[in-house]
Each structure stands twice: as C-alpha cells, then as structure tokens.
Amino acid sequence: MDRRFTLLLLVLVVLGTRLVFAGQHMELYGDESYYHIRQVDHIRDTGMPLREDPLSFGGRINVLSPAFDYLLAAFTYILPVQVAFKLVPNLFGVLFVVISYFIAWRITRNSHVSFLTAALSGFLPIYFAKTFNHVTVYGIVVPLMALLIYFYMDIEKHVAGYVITLILLSLLHASILVFICGLLVYALIVNVEGMKLTEKEKEIILFSVVFALWSQFVLYKNVFLVHSTLSIWQNLPEALLSNYFEDFSILEAIYKIDAVPFLFGLYAMRQYLFKVGDKKIHFLIGMALAIALLLWLKLVPLVFGLMLFGMIMTLLFAKSYHYRVNLVRKSRLRKHLKAWQGFFLVFFLITAVGASLHLAVNEVQASTIDDEHEALEWLENNSEEKDIVMSSEVDSQKIMALSNRATVLDSNFLLVPGSDVIYDDMKVALTSPHITQVGERLDKHDVNFVYVSRESRELLGISKLPSVDDKCLPLVYQTSVQIYEWKCKLEVLG
C-alpha cells in the first residue's frame, strides 16, 4: 500500500476516534478549557485578550501568553465557535501523528516502523485522553515540540523551519524552556561521548537558548520580578505543590504513557547511551533525561511532563523496534517476518489503543455523572452579577465562563499576592466543620455562594460541606454539584 495513503488512513482513524469521543458531550472537559473559552470570547468581542480579569481572584492581571487564544480565535472565524473548540484541538492531535511518522522515518528509513510509531503516537494514552475534548495549550505544544525535534535532526537543511517553529513555540508557552534544557543535556552527552557538535548545531543551540530566554523574559518579566525563582513553580500555594506527586504512582505513569514505548524506549536508552554513537538518538535521550529531571524537580506539571516523556519514548521506540526487526531479519525467523510484524502491530495497538480508550471513556463517564451545565446555569439565574463564589481551584474557570460570576481563586496563581493564604482560606471554608471559622473566611472574601462539584469533593475528601447550616449556610442546589448560600455576617462582639 502507498505510504502516503496508509498515513492518511491512520490520520483519519485517529481523528475519527477522537471526534467520536469529543462528540459525546456538548461541553468541554478540564478547567483550562474554560479559561481559553473566555479568552477567545473576549478576543472575538474586542480584538484583545482578557488581560484585566474582573472575575478571577476578585480582579487580577492575566499574564499568560495569548498566542494560543488568538490562534483559536482565528479558527472561530472560519468555523462555528462550538465546532472550532471541538475540532481544532483534535487537528493538533493528529498533527502529532504525522510528525511522529516523519521523525521515525528519519531515524529508521523503514515505513512499517514509522507507521507503527505514528499509530502509537496517535494513541499515546495520556495525550489522547487529555486533549480529545479539552481546549489546552499542551495539545499544540506537544506536536510543535515534535516538529522542532524533526527539524533539529536534520538542521543542515531545515534552519528556516526550525527557527519559525522555535519562535511559534516560544510565543505559545513557556515549555520552550523544557526543549532548551533538552538541547543542553544533549550537548553535554555529545561532549561526554567525545563526539562533536557541528558548527551549525553550536550556532543553532546558542540562538535557541538566547531566543527562548529572551522571549520568556519579555513575556513574563513582571512574573519573574514579583515571584523571583518561585515563578518556576508558578507561585503555586505550598499546599498544592506538596501534593504534586500525591496521587502519582510509577505503574500508573507507565500505563498513561503506554508500557510498550516505555520499555522499548528504555531499551534504546540503555543501548545507545555511552555505547553506540548516533547523534539523533542521543538528542532524543537528552530530551528524555531533561524531561525526567524537570518532572522529578516538579518544574513541569505532571500531566504535561508525562505527555512529553511519552512522546520521546514513542520516538525512541522506533529505533529500538527497528533494531529488533533487523535482528529477526538476520535470524532464522526471517521467513516469518511479516507474521512477526503483524503480531506486534496488533499487540502494540491493542495495548496503546486500549489504554487510550479506557482513559477517554473514564473522562466521558465522569463528565456524564457530573452534569455541571445545569448547576452553573442555576447559579447564574439565582445569583446577582456582583456575587462572589467560593470554589476549589478545579471549578473556578467553569463558574467564571458559564455562570459569569467572580470566584475567590482559580488554578492560575501567577501574580496573585498571598496565594498560600487564599488557598488556605478555601480549604478551611470547604472542609472545616466550624461555622464561625468558615464564616470568617467567607466574609473575608465577601463570598455569597459556595460551589462544590463531585471532583472538588473527591479532591478535598468530603461528601458535603461539613459546616452546612440551615440558617447561615443552607444547601440551595443539589445534583452531583452542591451549591450553598452564605446568608449570615459574622460580627465581633464588644
């Protein structure tokens, strides 16, 4: 079968699967999606991103790069808004499939291995499950980083493509610094191995480092000045940061990036690091080591770090699997090579596709149970425009986007003074059994309603608000979401 046709078929299968899952619900998943919806709406209305946000933290300055929101907004002029939010993230998703195919081809020059690698990329479980119905910048960052890797591997011919992608990624997200760390680790490995970087490589590495640093300092200068080195951890409250790896287990992580590429990737690392000199593989190993280190130091969000790590392991899989295929080709089993390849194709796809679909089904099911749309509509109809809602950080963007009400905190803590105190106030308000303690926190932030979703309850380990009180804090709405109204005002006697 023609290579291009096979690839096109794979792209259509991956896109189709993604869209089938995305079409299960009208609403999008994930808190971040609603942040981007608000940004895109604002760009469509005014042409400018929502920089001064009156609803977040009771009024704050948004410092995140608006490039992704402009990109989405551009699509909404060609497509209906709802369709754009559903389709565009999935188009980015299949872009990753195509790029993976070409990287694998560059490494192995074998169409079967390249096809298998592309298929594994298309069904990389964590990337599939966290981008099929989510409007998230990570959806485009992963394929762009893969594209950078593709261009870098043949930098002699692709300087312009590399530079343009580097600029685009730098404007989109601070994760360009992860790529830079990878480049530096690669340069170190090459040096240790006694190999040499070409003049072009040296120049491109220097340019990449300088441009990435420069662009991030221009975009986030105020963040660095206010939070200093803490900006690396995005000013997250200590309580959130210390729970960073609380639910993390190695086995679960392997499941989420798929065991097959993980094991084959590890094998490639063992085989090539300090043994066989292949700069393309050393480059991928450098990336993998840098991402693992950044994950270990909690410098990248867990989900994003696993996406990137999974991507690199899938690309390393190509080399490792190709090596195995060659071994078989040279052995007595060569007569059965086709059958052998067919068996592994089915086996790999079952594990990867199975894991991806399982995670995706979990997301869909959770969303079906939640049915937050009605709750948010109720909140909008039964509260006043000036009312403030207390919720955990995972619910706030939805409340702001769909109910149009201000919240006390959300998941973006950049440039928020006293983030620890605010987070602590939320935790006390949602988990304390003492109404005076809760009231004090609610009064402090002028809160009128408390919104508790199923996800929040699981996160905080509560089944309902422990301080529920018919007079002061009655439950006014209950489905899978609970909404409480704060009706009292605490006063100091004397």
Smaller CB separation from another protein, 75 or 211: 211
DSSP result, 67-102: HHHHHHHHHHHHS-HHHHHHHHHHHHHHHHHHHHHH
Smaller CB separation from another protein, 231 or 367: 231
Smaller CB separation from another protein, 417 or 466: 417
d(CA 398, CA 401): 5
Smaller CB separation from another protein, 75 or 207: 207
Q: With the CA atoms of 111, 112, 118 and 122 taken in that order, what torsion angle do they form, in degrees rounded to the nearest 10?
A: 150
Question: CB of 166: closest distance to another protein in angstroms?
Answer: 11
> Both tokens of residue 312?
């690199």
Question: CB of 67: closest distance to another protein in angstroms?
Answer: 19
Question: CB of 142: closest distance to another protein in angstroms?
Answer: 26
Count other Cβ atoms within 10 Å, centred on residue 444.
Answer: 14
221 contributes a contact to another protein by CB under 8 A: yes
458 contributes a contact to another protein by CB under 8 A: no
Closest CA to 280 of 465, 156, 378: 156
Question: CB of 198: closest distance to another protein in angstroms?
Answer: 8
Question: CB of 207: closest distance to another protein in angstroms?
Answer: 5
Is residue 275 packed enough to be buried (19+ CB in 10 Å), middle (13-18) or exposed (0-12)? exposed
Question: CB of 488: closest distance to another protein in angstroms?
Answer: 20
> Both tokens of residue 395?
């619910």
| Residues 403-442 interacting with another protein (rule: CB under 8 A) | 417-418, 421
d(CA 313, CA 289): 11
Question: CB of 214: closest distance to another protein in angstroms?
Answer: 5
Smaller CB separation from another protein, 217 or 343: 217
Smaller CB separation from another protein, 229 or 249: 229
| Count of residues that bind another protein according to CB under 8 A | 26
Q: In the set 17, 117, 165, 231, which binds another protein (CB under 8 A)?
A: 231
Q: What is the CA radius of gyration of the chain?
A: 24
Going by C-beta distance under 8 Å and a sequence separation of 6 or more, which residues neighbour residue 473?
435, 438, 439, 450, 465, 467, 484, 485, 486, 487, 488
Q: In the set 15, 81, 163, 302, which binds another protein (CB under 8 A)?
A: 163
| Residues 284-323 interacting with another protein (rule: CB under 8 A) | none
d(CA 19, CA 152): 32
| Residues 191-220 interacting with another protein (rule: CB under 8 A) | 198-200, 203-204, 206-207, 209-211, 213-214, 217
Kindly tell me the sign of the dihedral angle through the C-alpha atoms of 392, 397, 400, 401. negative
Question: CB of 290: closest distance to another protein in angstroms?
Answer: 17
Q: In the set 228, 249, 381, 463, which binds another protein (CB under 8 A)?
A: 228
Question: CB of 492: closest distance to another protein in angstroms?
Answer: 9
Smaller CB separation from another protein, 198 or 326: 198
Stretch that binds another protein, among 82-90, 226-234, 387-395, 428-436 (CB under 8 A): 226-234
Question: CB of 426: closest distance to another protein in angstroms?
Answer: 15
Closest CA to 18 of 350, 364, 256, 369: 364
Smaller CB separation from another protein, 187 or 316: 187
Stretch that binds another protein, among 56-64, 223-231, 265-273, 467-475 (CB under 8 A): 223-231
CB 144 within 8 A of CB 165: yes
Helix and strand totals (H; E) in the chain: 21, 7
Smaller CB separation from another protein, 300 or 401: 300
Question: CB of 227: closest distance to another protein in angstroms?
Answer: 7
Angle between helices 337-370 and 259-272 (to 10 degrees): 130
Stretch that binds another protein, among 43-51, 62-70, 228-236, 304-312 (CB under 8 A): 228-236
Q: What's 217's DSSP letter?
A: H
CA–CA–CA angle 482, 488, 494 (5° rounding): 150
CA–CA–CA angle 110, 111, 112 (5° rounding): 95
List residues binding another protein (CB under 8 A): 159, 163, 198-200, 203-204, 206-207, 209-211, 213-214, 217, 221, 224-229, 231, 417-418, 421
